Amino acid sequence: MQDVCHVEAIEKEPTAEELKEIQTAYLTVWGMRCPNCALRVRNGLLSLRGVLDANVDHTLGLAEVVYNPHLCTSSALVDAVARYGADGYHVYSAALAS
């Protein structure tokens, strides 16, 4: 694993507003090669207002995201995956899983 792969996990305490309504989205994620990639995607998702929790598995290429749909859209989840992989070394993409 190269130095560019090192990532520290962030923790997030959901706000009362975020907890008002909860929905789960499942994303198919491409481009993750290691556990740190999954952690990078998780951190990116958690950074969004309205996201309460995210579990990402790089081996399966799946993300389970718990969020408030009034504060964060499913398209914002997909966009966050791509944005947090755009560091010049990593390239991630995602789509809502059916």
Residue ranges of domains in the chain, CATH in brackets:
20-96 (3.30.70.100)
Q: What is the pTM of this model?
A: 0.87
d(CA 83, CA 77): 10
Please determine, for residue 53, whether its predicted confidence score (pLDDT) is greater than 90: yes
Q: Residues with Cβ < 8 Å from 19, sequence gap 6 or more?
A: 52, 68
Report the pLDDT averaged over residues 72-97.
89
Strand arrangement, sheet containing 93-96: 51-57, 62-67, 23-30, 93-96
- Cβ atoms of residues 47 and 13 within 8 Å: no
Distance CA 90, CA 77 (A): 17
Question: pLDDT grade, residue 84 (50/70/90)?
Answer: confident
Read off the pLDDT of residues 9-48 as tens digits, 9 standing for 90 and up.
888 888 899 889 999 999 999 999 999 999 999 999 999 9
Q: Tell whether the model's pLDDT for residue 98 goes beyond 80.
A: no
